[in-house]
Amino acid sequence: MTREEVYERLNQVVREVLDDEDIELHDETVADDVEGWDSFEHINIIVAVEEEFGFKFPMGKTIKMKNVGEMVDLILESGK
């Protein structure tokens, strides 16, 4: 899976959870940049991403994620 493929699927997941078709995520994107990505929706995004990519985020790494890029790193790592 390439980084681009991850982004394609990740964009789709986050768009669905936040019900906003215009969302485009990048490595530097943080929750505050995206309307509706609050702490309540964060858990739903985590769960939806886990389902989409078929793995579970370890808690220790989840709490340290600083931006979308790091989430993508974790997703790519899980696929190894």
* Count of beta carbons in the 10 Å neighbourhood of residue 9: 14
Q: Is residue 17 a contact residue for another protein (CB under 8 A)?
A: yes
* CA 14/CA 34 separation, integer angstroms: 10
Question: Residue 54, interface with another protein (CB under 8 A)?
Answer: no
Q: Does 59 bind another protein (CB under 8 A)?
A: yes
By CB under 8 A, is residue 71 in contact with another protein?
no
How many CB atoms are located within 10 Å of the residue 14 CB?
A: 23
Where does this chain bind another protein (CB under 8 A)?
Answer: 13, 16-19, 39-40, 43-44, 46-48, 51, 56, 59, 62-63
